[in-house]
Amino acid sequence: MSQLPLTELEVVYDALAEAINQVGTEQESLFLTKLVLLLANQVGNQAQVEQAIHTALLDLQ
Amino acid sequence: MYIPDNTPRHSVYYDYQIYPFRTPPELNGEAKRYPVVIVGAGPIGLVTALELASYGTPVVVISAEVQVSHGSRAIVFTRRSMEILQQVGIAERMLEKAYPWRSGNSIYRGQRVFRLEAPYDEDDRFQPLNNLQQQYVEQYLVEQAQQNPLIELRWGSKVIGVTSLLDHAEVQIDTPEGEYSLSCDWLIAADGAKSTIRQELGLRMEGASYSGRFVIADIKIDIPWPTERLAYFDPDWNRGNTILMHRQPEGIWRLDYQLPPNETPEQALAPESLHTRIQAQLDMVGISAPWELDWCSVYSARAMTLPDYVHERIIFTGDAAHMLPIFGVRGANTGFQDAQNLAWKLAMLLKGVGTPELLATYSSERVIAAREIIAEASKSTRFMTPPDRGYRLLRDAVLSLSLTQAFVRPLFHWRTSRPHDYHETPLNALNDDNGQFTAGSAQGMPLQNIRLAANDYLFDHLGAAFHLLYFTNQTVPESLLQQVAELEQQGIPLKILTIGKGQALADSDGHFAKRYDAQTGTAYLIRPDQHVCARWKNLTAEQLKAAIYRALGQGAK
């Protein structure tokens, strides 16, 4: 699996934070769900997406 | 004393006729044992009756009502249903009135985000979908049944109790002239989603009820649009919910819309609420024509089935056996397949050529079909009426993306009812050549129709019997003809249809043979319900005999 170089990860980090601020709490979940569907389609691999869902469920507390 | 409502129901387009109660022989002190009693004179009960009669089985049909369905109810009939209804003799009459169609549209924020054309095969007689109000279908079935001396219709007769015994069933009936009891070898419960008989037996259904409830409203209005399915998602006037529109004959349009949570059916059906919402939908789609309400009702989406349809001498069929969400036109269309599947098996058992194991496959085949339909229907239901926050978020995300992202649009697929494939049934032949064919309907599948000439199709030649489709450009081997005659002498209805140049079904251009991957000697054995149960590259008499016995349940032991 390809990985983002740190500089690019930092840009994505900022862009996502700003987008979440921009949409506001009410639309936040919808926005994030759309984002996941778009990225899932780009990944093009069911197992990788399911693994990412599983990983994101860890350590939420 | 049960007094049915003898007032013709109100409708702006349909004239209800009253079928009066008549004193049955039992109330004159006569008693006899009937082979089959069907409870319910809805579409499924009547198709079951007509199918059974086509095999020579006499039937008594009991109905608490004295007229046909209140309101249009089932309005979309699939190609497979039309093929079944052709067998019982009403398809032609339906087509004089019905609107055939094949396209479905999903609309979000004024944009058509998905369109699907149901496949249409040039060899099919019927279009994929046909819109006609249930009253007409029931009326045609009633009139067909009235002409059949084997069918006795008992109107205004309400079932108040049933007793299932090992070798027969008894049903207690209340009428305007008092109560009586009927004794029958087999009792068929076609008494609908609220089946009295199912409740009497205390049977539990498996599956899920969904919280979403829908109003169905039929309005008379002039809208100059073609017959297509229209699904509006998350409209401004009913945020988060879904509205369906279907065109029907007689200038009627069906509107389905979801109720807001916490609203009762009574509130939803209050005239003011109905008027406001219907007008809001019409305003949204830009229709300003005047309209009047014909009929309305509320339904909830359920996806449930009994795990077994045969309980000693009581057999369940249609909505009495399963309740399916109507988004994919699955109610009546599934029920017709039940009726057709049940009728030949019960008739063969009563004739003494079928086994109890054969009848048991009615339950096994149709329960598997119902579970498959429930799995499909549940997907549609989760999209149309998301049951919880997670499914709602995903659905809303898909709606939002659908305006610009093509990849999510197939998720709008509306998964219409389709016939089940009985590939796992014990009635299929064991050692035929099924796997060697490169075309044609495989074991378990419904037969593919063939257009033989203008207004002449293969299915027009199929009756209440097994059919052997035999491809040849010569003559049928004497040994095969003898075998067919021998099986017929045993009381097994079996007809041989020869296909080829100069045969009973002429295939001068070889189109039929090509679609069935057939050469001289190729044969397909078709069950009376038009599903393939065996096919051979070069059939012998011995193979035919074994396959017929197996299809009658002798191999299911």
Candidates A33, A38, A41; nearest CB to B393: A33
Q: Which two tokens stand for residue B270?
A: 């209050």
Per the CB < 8 Å rule, is B408 touching A33? no
- Contact map slice: A 1-60 vs B, CB within 8 A: 29-30, 33-34, 37-38, 41
Q: Is B475 helix (H, G, I), strand (E, B) or coil?
A: coil
Closest of B493, B368, B496 to residue B426, by C-alpha: B368
Taking the CA of residue A46 and the nearest CA in chain B, the distance in Å comes to 15
Cα–Cα dist B46/B153, whole Å? 9
Stretch(es) of chain B classified as CATH 3.40.30.120: 434-554
Q: How far is A40 from chain B (nearest CA, A)?
A: 11
Chain B residues contacting A via beta carbons under 8 Å: 393-394, 396-398, 400-401, 405, 407-408
Q: B161 pLDDT band (50/70/90 cuts)?
A: very high
Q: For B402, which residue in chain A has the nearest alpha carbon?
A: A34
* B61-85 residue pLDDT tens: 999 999 999 999 999 999 999 999 9
* pLDDT per residue as tens digits for the range B211-253: 678 999 999 999 999 999 999 999 999 998 899 999 999 999 9
Residues of chain B with Cβ-Cβ distance to A41 below 8 Å are 405, 407
Q: Is the pTM of this model over 0.90?
A: yes
Please state, in angstroms and rounded to a whole number, the distance separating the CA atoms of residues B207 and B364: 17
Q: Could you tell me if B347 and B90 are in contact, meaning their C-beta atoms sit under 8 angstroms apart?
A: no
Provide the token pair at A5: 């170089």
A30/B401 touch (CB, cutoff 8 Å), yes or no: no
Q: Please judge whether B400 and A30 are an interchain contact, meaning their C-beta atoms are less than 8 angstroms apart.
A: yes
Q: What is the pLDDT of residue B557?
A: 41
* B296-307 pLDDT, tens digit each: 999 887 889 999
Two tokens, residue B498: 């020869």
**Residues ≥6 apart with Cβ < 8 Å to B145:** B46, B49, B50, B53, B61, B151, B153
Rounded CA gap, B449 and B458, in Å? 6
pLDDT at B442 over 80: yes
Which residues of chain A neighbour B400 with C-beta distances below 8 Å? 30, 34
Q: Do A34 and B394 touch (CB under 8 A)?
A: no
**Can you give the pLDDT at residue B413?**
84
Q: Which of B393, B396, B407 sits opposite A41 (nearest CB)?
A: B407
* Selection from B503, B528, B527, B500 nearest residue B514 by Cα: B500
Sort B358 into a burial class: Cβ within 10 Å, 0-12 / 13-18 / 19+: buried
Average pLDDT, chain B: 95
Mean pLDDT check: name the lowest of B115-124, B208-217, B260-269, B424-433: B208-217
What's the average model confidence in pLDDT over B129-153? 98
Spatial distance between the Cα atoms of B444 and B228, rounded to a whole number of angstroms? 31
CB count in 10 Å sphere of residue B351? 16
Contact B397 A34 (CB under 8 A): yes
3-class DSSP state of B474: coil
Decide yes or no: CATH 3.40.50.300 for domain B25-84+127-204+306-372: no
Q: For residue B103, what pLDDT is reported?
A: 95
Closest by CA to B112, choosing from B415, B402, B329, is B402
Give every CB contact of residue B357 below 8 A, 6+ residues apart in sequence.
B426, B553, B554, B556, B557
Contact criterion met (CB < 8 Å) for A33 and B407: no
> What are the φ and ψ backbone dihedral angles of B507, each rounded to 5 degrees?
-130, 65
What CATH number does the domain located at B434-554 have?
A: 3.40.30.120
Q: Can you tell me the distance from the alpha carbon of B20 to that of B155, in angstroms, rounded to the nearest whole number?
A: 6
Size of interface A-B (CB pairs under 8 A): 21
Query: What mean pLDDT comes out for the span B197-214?
Result: 88
Q: How many other β-carbons are positioned within 10 Å of the β-carbon of residue B524?
A: 26
Pairing status of strand B178-189 against strand B169-175:
antiparallel
Cα of A15 vs its chain's centroid, Å: 11
Distance CA A20, CA A32 (A): 8
Q: What is the mean pLDDT of residues B244-267?
A: 93
Contact yes or no for B498/B504 (Cβ under 8 A): yes
Sheet of strand B494-500: strand arrangement: B505-506, B494-500, B466-471, B523-526, B532-536
Distance separating the N- and C-terminal Cα atoms of chain A: 27
Chain A interface, best mutation among B383, B407, B409, B411, by max A CB count within 10 A: B407
Contact (CB<8Å) A34/B407: no
Contact flag B396-A30 (C-beta cutoff 8 Å)? yes
Q: Are B112 and B104 in contact (CB under 8 A)?
A: no
Q: Which one of B394, B404, B411 makes the best mutation probe of the A interface by having the most chain A beta carbons within 10 Å?
A: B394
Q: Which residues of B touch A37 (CB under 8 A)?
A: 394, 397-398, 401, 408
| CA distances, B298 to each of B70, B73, B268, B279 (Å) | 13, 11, 8, 18
Mean pLDDT of all residues in B509-523 = 97
Provide CATH 3.50.50.60 ranges for chain B. Answer: 25-84+127-204+306-372
3-state secondary structure of B518: coil
Residue pair B433/B537 in contact (Cβ under 8 Å)? The answer is yes
DSSP reduced 3-state for B369: helix
Tokens found for residue A35: 């984002």
Where helices occur in B385-466 by DSSP H, the ranges are: 389-402
| β B229-233/B291-305 pair status | unpaired
Residue pair B78/B330 in contact by the 8 Å Cβ criterion: no
Return the closest-CA partner of residue B98 out of B129, B70, B138.
Answer: B129
pLDDT of the residue at B340: 98
DSSP, collapsed to helix, strand or coil, labels residue B151 as strand
Q: Is the pLDDT of residue B556 over 60?
A: no
N-term to C-term CA, chain B: 46
Helix (H, G, I), strand (E, B) or coil at B458: helix
B6-43 pLDDT tens trace: 999 999 999 999 999 999 999 999 989 999 999 999 99
Of A30, A38, A41, the CB nearest to B393: A30
Q: Kindly report, residue by residue over B463-506, the tens digit of the pLDDT.
A: 999 999 999 999 999 999 999 999 999 999 999 999 999 999 99
- What integer pLDDT is reported at residue B17 of this predicted model? 98
| Cα–Cα distance, B495 to A16 (Å, whole number) | 71
pLDDT band at B117; cut points 50, 70, 90: very high
- Count other C-beta atoms under 10 Å from residue A42's C-beta: 9
Nearest CA in chain B to A35: B397
CA dist B189 and B206 (Å) reads 18
Q: For the segment B343-389, what is each residue's pLDDT rounded down to a tens digit?
A: 999 999 999 999 999 999 999 999 999 999 888 888 888 898 888 99
Chain A partners of B401 at a C-beta cutoff of 8 Å? 34, 37-38
Nearest-CA distance A28 → chain B (Å): 11
Q: Pick the closest to residue B327 from B75, B47, B71 (CA basis).
A: B75
Least CA distance to B405: which residue of chain A?
A: A38
Whole-number Cα distances in Å, B309 to B272, B315, B371: 43, 6, 13
Contact list, A33 vs chain B (CB under 8 Å): 393-394, 396-397
Nearest chain A residue to B399, by CA: A34
Of B242, B211, B255, nearest to B396 (Cα)? B242
Per-residue tokens: B421 = 């494939």
State the Cα–Cα distance between residues B155 and B41, nearest whole angstrom.
Answer: 9
Sequence-separated (6 or more) residues with CB below 8 Å from residue B409: B106, B113, B114, B402
- Provide the pLDDT for residue B325: 76
Residues of B in contact with A38 (CB under 8 A): 401, 405
Residue B253 corresponds to which tokens in the numbers above? 């349009």
Residues B175-206, buried b or exposed e (16+ Cβ, 10 A)?
bbbeebebbbbbbbbbbbbebbbbebbebebe
According to the model, what pLDDT value does residue B525 have?
Answer: 98
Best residue of B400, B403, B404, B409 to probe chain A, by most A CBs closer than 10 Å: B400
Could you tell me the two tokens for B520? 């001289």
Specify the pLDDT at position B328.
74
* Facing residue for A30 by CB, picked from B397, B407, B408: B397
pLDDT at A1: 58
